[in-house]
Homo-oligomer: A and B are copies of this chain.
Amino acid sequence: MFHQIAVVGCGLIGGSVALALREAWPACRLIAIDRAPVVEAARRLGVVDDGGEDLALASGAELIVLAAPVRQNIALLQELVTRVQGSAVVHDVGSTKRAIVDAARALPQRLRFVGGHPLAGAATDGVEAARADLFRGRPWILTPSPECDPADVDRVTSLASAVGALPRTMDPVAHDRLMAYLSHLPQLAVSALMQVVGERTGSEGLSLAGTGLRDTTRLASSPPGTWRDVTATNPEALGVAIDELTAALQRLKADLAVGDDLQRIFDDAAKWKRTLDESGTGGRGRGES
């Protein structure tokens, strides 16, 4: 279907897309656009055929996959308008969708842009951690806008299917609201918890912590670069989710103060936890480590 595909940002996700496509479509030429040492590593690892730092290298591609942090992807859209001149379909794989979909629609010239978000990730970032099977069996959400050409949406759908993912369509605002709960709020809650606990107990106090705190705060080691972009491009939905969590916590405080022993919340949380653990495939979300 494609003779040439360019991946802009060749880390874990971009590199895994390239590796998976190499298996699925061996005749397709794969180009990486990233900093020179990253492209060099991607070439050495057999992830891509060629690449470099210049976005012009993407001009021969029929499909351009933006896999840099979200705000970089958004900045790239403007550059691509002047470079690819409508000849390529542009797809992004960032963790928030409203901001980039809005940015694409606001461009002065039309770009054949279709947004997306593969729900996959791994503990380690970087092209060295790329895996051809990263997306296998995982949802790949597409967030086309009304003006997208259905043929372009089909092209991106075929990409998602080729790497073994399960493509499905979602409204970008609904996507960001869902991810605020499933992914962004947990990240912020863990970071805030780790900050409060660290500052109030200090390193001597932390030395007495058990595995409960350690496991709960695993996400506090997540790569900050990715998360700063994710949270900065989803402030509205995250703000609502933060308010709901703080309201739930304040209800717990009020219940404790009147001698309630929180049976309902513990039962409720345990019930949802069972639902969570019994559902889905347990693949990692983007940027989660």
Contacts and interface: CB of A to CB of B under 8 A. Distances in A.
> Most chain-B Cβ atoms within 10 A of its Cβ — which of A187, A261, A272, A288?
A272
A208 B166 CA distance: 12
A277 B231 CA distance: 25
Interface residues of A, number: 92
B270 A220 contact: yes
Nearest to A281: B207
A229 interface: yes
B210 A288 contact: yes
B249 A284 contact: no
Contacts of A280: 206-209
Give the dominant DSSP class at A's interface.
Answer: helix
A256 B269 contact: no
Interface string A171-185: 000000010011101
A23 B206 CA distance: 31
Nearest to A229: B261
Contacts of A262: 188, 191, 227-228, 231-232
Interface in A250-289: 250, 252-253, 256-257, 259-263, 265-277, 279-280, 282-286, 288
Nearest to A285: B210
Contact of A190 (B216, B243, B244, B246): B216
A261 B258 CA distance: 38
Given A197-B272, A208-B280, 5 more contacts: A192-B269, A195-B265, A195-B272, A212-B218, A224-B270
